[in-house]
Amino acid sequence: MQSGTTRYEKRRPNPSALIPKWNYTACTQCNQCVAVCPHAVIRPFIVTRDEADNAPSPSTFVTVKAQGAELAGKRYTLQISPLDCTGCTACVEACPEAPKALEMQDVENVLSTGGEDNWTYAMSLPERGTLIDKYTLKGGSMNIK
Ligand code: SF4
Ligand code: SF4
C-alpha cells in the first residue's frame, strides 16, 4: 500500500474561509507553530537567494535572513498549504510572540496571490535537514517533505 497519499487529497472549497498569514517581521523562527499543526500544513523552509528569486510569485514568496550560525547566508520562509488548512488556529495560539507572528486571513486572498504555487514550489526545494540539528524543535521540521 502506498503511503502519504493524503497529500493528493486537496480540499476545494477550502474547509475554512480563513487561514494563517505569516507576519515575518515579528517571527523569531522558533517553529513552534509547525510542531503543533495537526495536518503539517505550515512548514519552514531554508532557501537560497536564487531559489527565493525564482519562486513563481516572488512578491508573495517572502523570505528573511535565516537565524542561527548553521544557516549563515541562507534565507528562511514559512509556507502554508492553502488547500490543506482547516483553520483550526492552533498555530496562531502556539506562537509565543506578542504581537503574534501569525494572524488569520481570507484564504481567497492567498489563492489569488500565488499561495498554492508558492507551497508547491517550496515542497520542490531540496531537503536541508543536515544544516541544523534535526533532534531540535527548530531543526526537525526544516524542508521536510
Ligand atoms: S490553522 Fe490549523 S491546520 Fe491551518 S496551519 Fe494552523 S494549525 Fe495547521
Ligand atoms: S511560532 Fe510564531 S515566531 Fe515561531 S516560527 Fe511560528 S510564526 Fe514564527
Tens digit of each residue's pLDDT (9 = 90 or more) over 62-119: 999 999 898 999 999 999 999 999 999 999 999 999 999 999 999 999 999 999 999 9
102 or 138: which carries more pLDDT confidence? 102
In this structure, the residue with its CA closest to atom 2 of ligand 2 is: 95
List beta partners, residue 20: 104
Q: What is the pLDDT of residue 135?
A: 87
Q: What one-character DSSP code corresponds to residue 80?
A: E
**102: buried, middle or exposed (CB in 10 Å: 19+, 13-18, 0-12)?**
buried
Residue 78 Cα to ligand 1 middle (Å): 13
Is the pLDDT confidence value at 1 over 70?
A: yes
Q: What is the pLDDT of residue 44?
A: 94
* 125 C-beta neighbours (distance < 10 Å), count: 17
* pLDDT average, residue stretch 7-19: 87
Q: Are 106 and 17 in contact, with CB atoms under 8 Å apart?
A: yes
Peptide bond into 99 cis (omega under 30): yes
Residue 17 Cα to ligand 2 middle (Å): 22
Pick the CATH number of 24-131 from 3.30.505.50, 1.20.1740.10, 3.30.70.20, 3.40.50.2300: 3.30.70.20
* Nearest atom of ligand 2 to the alpha carbon of 26: 3
* C-alpha gyration radius of the chain: 14
Q: What is the pLDDT of residue 48?
A: 94
Ligand 1 and 85: CB distance under 6 A? yes
Whole-number Å distance between alpha carbons of 18 and 89: 9
> Which percentage of the chain shows pLDDT scores above 90?
70
In this structure, the residue with its CA closest to atom 4 of ligand 2 is: 30
Q: Locate cell 523562527: which residue?
A: 29
Is the pLDDT confidence value at 130 over 90?
A: no
- Tabulate helix, strand, coil % of the chain (nearest 5): 30, 15, 55
